[in-house]
Amino acid sequence: MSGSRFYITAAIDYANGAPHIGHAIEKIGIDAMARYRRLCGQAVHFVLGMDEHGLKVQQSAEAAGISPQQWVDEIATRFEAAWRRLAIGFDDFIRTTQPRHERAVAEMVRRMAAAGDFYRGSYEGYYCVGCEAFKREDELVRNERDELRCPVHPGREVTWTHEENWFFRLSSYQDRLLRLFDEQPDFLQPEGRANEIRRVIEGGLEDISVSRARLPWGIPWPGDPEHTVYVWIDALTNYLAAAGFPDGDHERLWPADYHVIGKDITRFHCVYWPAMLMSAGLPLPRHVWAHGFINFGGAKLSKSEGVRFELEELIERHGPEALRYYLLREIPWNGDGEWSLERFDERYVSELANNLGNLANRTISMIERYRGGVVPGRRQEIKDQQIAAAVLRYRGVMDANLLHQGIAAAMELASYANGFVEARAPWAQAKDPARAAELDDPLAALARVVATLATLLQPFMPVKMAELGAQLSLPDPVPLDALTGLDLAGRPGARGPVLFPRPEQEKKPTK
RNA sequence: GGCUGGGUAGCUCAGCUGGUGAGAGCGCACGACUCAUAAUCGUGAGGUCGAGGGUUCAAGUCCCUCCCCAGCUACCA
C-alpha cells in the first residue's frame, strides 16, 4: 500500500448555479479519504472539476446576457474558491471546456467508433422550439389549456420530434457488465448499491443516444461537425482527461482507484462508463463509491433548502473545519443522514470544544504548569494499548471508507483520555511532593494521546489539527505509521489560541 | 403502481446468523473535582423497540397483513 499511487476523483459539478452544501459534503468527504490515504503513505492524486457544456448552461448564460464561456468561467471561479475556503486539497481542477478535455473526448469517440459501437439512430422526444432542444416530459408543465409547455417558453409550442443522431451499443455490453459485477463484487460500494445496479443490468439495457444535432454548446462530434457530443461521453471522460489521456503517460494515473459520486448517478458510472471504457479498450476504474445525501427534517435536502443554508453562512458559524467535521460526523459516508443547525451547534460544543479542544488545552496547560513547557519522558508504556487500539480501529474503518466511524474512533480516544485525567488527577500528584515525580507518566501519555488525535483527525480538520500538532512541536502531519513509536520527550509544549472556542451564549440557531 | 431503505429513550442513532433483566452519544437532573474553553468525571433518568396476527421453549431480531416516512423508477447532470 505504502508509496503506491492513489487516483481519486469527485463527480464534476454542473456549472449551472452556486456551490451549496450538497456539493460541499461530497468534496469534503473525498478530501478526507484523500488525506487519509496520504497519511498512509500513498501518493494521492485528487481531481475535481466542472461539467460545463449543455443546454442549461447555454440558457443560463443567455439569461445573464453573457457568453457560455464567460458564464462557466465565473461559476468555476466560485466553485474553486469555495473548495479552497473549505481546505479541500485537490491536485487538479478539470473543466470540460478545457482543450485537454476536448481532446480526450474526441479520442474516446474515435476509439468507440473504431470498435464499431456507434450507429445512426433516431432519437425522439418533446422538442421546445424556443429552447431548440429536447425536453423530458417531467421538465415540461401544462398551461391553462392543458397543453404541454416548456417553462422557459410558455408561449412556444412543444412538439414530438425525431432527430437522427449517434447511438452507442450499450445493449451489447450487458454480459460483460454482469461479468464485471460477478468478478469484482467491490467494484461499486457500498455493497447495497451494487445489487441495485446489477438488477438494472439484468433487466436489460437499451442503447443510448450520445450526440445531439442542434445543441451548439458542446464538443463537436469527430467526423460529424453537425453534432455535438452528448453528456455521457463528454462528462464521464473527464476522469481520463485529468489523467492525461490520450497521451501515453495517462497510464501513470489511470485506472482511477476511486470514483466518488452521489448515489443518484451510479447508473452512469457503473453501467454507461464501464461499457464506454470497454468499448474504447481501456482499463476500468477499480472502485466506485456512492455516497448518500443530506436529509433535513426527514426529507432530502432540496435545492431551495440547500441554497437557504448559504454555504458561507454555515462556514462562518463555527469555522470551515467545524463544518467539515460536523458533516462527516453526522452523515454516514455510506448512507444518508440527518442535518440540522441545532445538531451542528451541539456537536461543535460537546465534541469539538468540550471533549477534544478542552482535552488538548488541559493537557498542554499541565505540561506548561508542571513541567515548564517541556513534554516529559515516560517511564512505562502507560496507555499505549488504548492508543494502539484506537488507531487500529480507526484504520480498520477508514480503510473501508467509513469516515463517520473514523471520527467516532478518534473521539472515543479523546473521551477515554478525559476520563484518564480524572482518574490520575495530576493536580493532586503535583501538590504532593512524594508523588510529584510520578507526574511524568500521565503527562507523557496525555501528550501522546493529543498527538495521536491530531493525526487521526487530520483528514477531517487539516488546518486545526496542524495547529494542534504545532502546540506539541510536531511536524504536520505525522504519518500514521510514525505514530507507533512516536517519542515526544523533550519537545516544547505551548498552548496556542483556543482551537474551538465556545460560541457566545446568546448565539441561537437561526432556524 | 413497482423497487429499495427505514419506523428503537426528548434528539441523532447502534442492536450480525432469534436467547443473560433493551443500548450509546447528546440533552436533562443530581453529585464530585479544579489541570482546563463554567470545560471534566460519576450517578440517574424507566422507551408497549410503528400496529395487529403468527412461528418458537424464547422475537426489535424470523413469517404474514396493515399504517406511516424517505429515496429510486434509465438519455437532468
- Of A32 and A195, the one with more pLDDT: A32
- Helices (runs of H) and strands (runs of E) counted in chain A: 21, 19
| DSSP strand pairing (A299-300 vs A294-296) | antiparallel
Least confident of A68-72, A304-308, A324-328, A376-380: A304-308
**Model confidence over A81-125: pLDDT tens digits?**
999 999 999 999 999 999 999 999 999 999 999 999 999 988 877
Which nucleotide has its C1' atom closest to residue A205's CA? B74
**Residue–nucleotide distance: A432 CA to B26 C1' (Å):** 37
**Model confidence over A409-418: pLDDT tens digits?**
999 999 999 9
**Model confidence over A441-478: pLDDT tens digits?**
999 999 999 999 999 999 999 999 999 999 999 988 89
Q: What percent of chain A has pLDDT over 90?
A: 63
Whether CB of A461 is under 7 Å from strand B: the answer is: no
Whether CB of A134 is under 7 Å from strand B: the answer is: yes
Residue A163: how many other CB atoms lie within 10 Å: 17
CB under 8 Å to A341, separation ≥6 — which residues? A317, A509, A510, A511
Q: What is the mean pLDDT of residues A123-135?
A: 73
Whether CB of A496 is under 7 Å from strand B: the answer is: no
Q: What percent of chain A has pLDDT over 70?
A: 91
**Residue–nucleotide distance: A446 CA to B14 C1' (Å):** 29
Handedness of CA A27, A29, A34, A39 (dihedral sign): positive
What pLDDT score was predicted for residue A157?
Answer: 74
Whether CB of A153 is under 7 Å from strand B: the answer is: no
**Model confidence over A375-387: pLDDT tens digits?**
998 766 667 888 9
Contact A296, A338 (CB under 8 A): yes
Least confident of A25-39, A173-187, A189-203, A214-228: A189-203
Q: What is the mean pLDDT of residues A423-437?
A: 87
Average pLDDT, chain A: 89
The CATH number of A340-482 is which of 1.25.40.10, 1.10.730.10, 1.10.8.190, 1.10.1200.10? Answer: 1.10.730.10
Global pTM value? 0.93
Active site residues of A: 20, 23, 128, 131, 150, 153, 300, 303
What pLDDT score was predicted for residue A305?
Answer: 58
**Model confidence over A22-57: pLDDT tens digits?**
899 999 999 999 999 999 999 999 999 999 999 889
Half-sphere exposure of A78 (CA within 13 A, CB side): 17
Positions 391-420 in A, CB within 7 angstroms of strand B: 415, 418-419
pLDDT at A298 over 70: no
Which nucleotide has its C1' atom closest to residue A350's CA? B26
Find the radius of gyration of the CA atoms of chain A. Answer: 27
Least confident of A253-257, A284-288, A306-310, A484-488: A306-310
What residue spans define the domains of chain A?
6-291, 340-482
What pLDDT score was predicted for residue A507?
Answer: 39
Instruction: Choose among A272, A283, A321: nearest CA to A174.
Output: A272
Which nucleotide has its C1' atom closest to residue A209's CA? B75
Contact A291, A29 (CB under 8 A): yes
Query: How is residue A196 written as a grid cell?
Result: 441495485
What pLDDT score was predicted for residue A509?
Answer: 36
Whether CB of A498 is under 7 Å from strand B: the answer is: yes
Whether CB of A56 is under 7 Å from strand B: the answer is: yes
CATH homologous superfamily for A6-291? HUPs (3.40.50.620)
pLDDT at A320 over 50: yes
A432 pLDDT band (50/70/90 cuts)? confident
What pLDDT score was predicted for residue A306?
Answer: 56
What pLDDT score was predicted for residue A132?
Answer: 67
Positions 194-213 in A, CB within 7 angstroms of strand B: 196, 199-200, 203-209
* Smallest CA–C1' distance to B34, residue: A427
Instruction: Choose among A439, A446, A451: nearest CA to A482.
Output: A451
Q: What is the mean pLDDT of residues A365-372?
A: 94
Positions 263-322 in A, CB within 7 angstroms of strand B: 264-265, 267-268, 295, 298-300
Whether CB of A151 is under 7 Å from strand B: the answer is: no
Q: Which residues pair with A6 in a beta bridge?
A: A44
Which nucleotide has its C1' atom closest to residue A367's CA? B35
Write down the ipTM of this complex. 0.91
Which nucleotide has its C1' atom closest to residue A207's CA? B75
- Of A387 and A301, the one with more pLDDT: A387
Which nucleotide has its C1' atom closest to residue A137's CA? B76
**Residue–nucleotide distance: A113 CA to B60 C1' (Å):** 56
Residue found by looking up cell 469517440 in the block: A109
Residue A480: how many other CB atoms lie within 10 Å: 21
Positions of chain B reached by protein Cβ under 7 A: 3-5, 11-14, 25-27, 33-42, 69-77
A508 pLDDT band (50/70/90 cuts)? very low
Whether CB of A128 is under 7 Å from strand B: the answer is: no
Half-sphere exposure of A61 (CA within 13 A, CB side): 19
Whether CB of A230 is under 7 Å from strand B: the answer is: yes
pLDDT at A264 over 50: yes
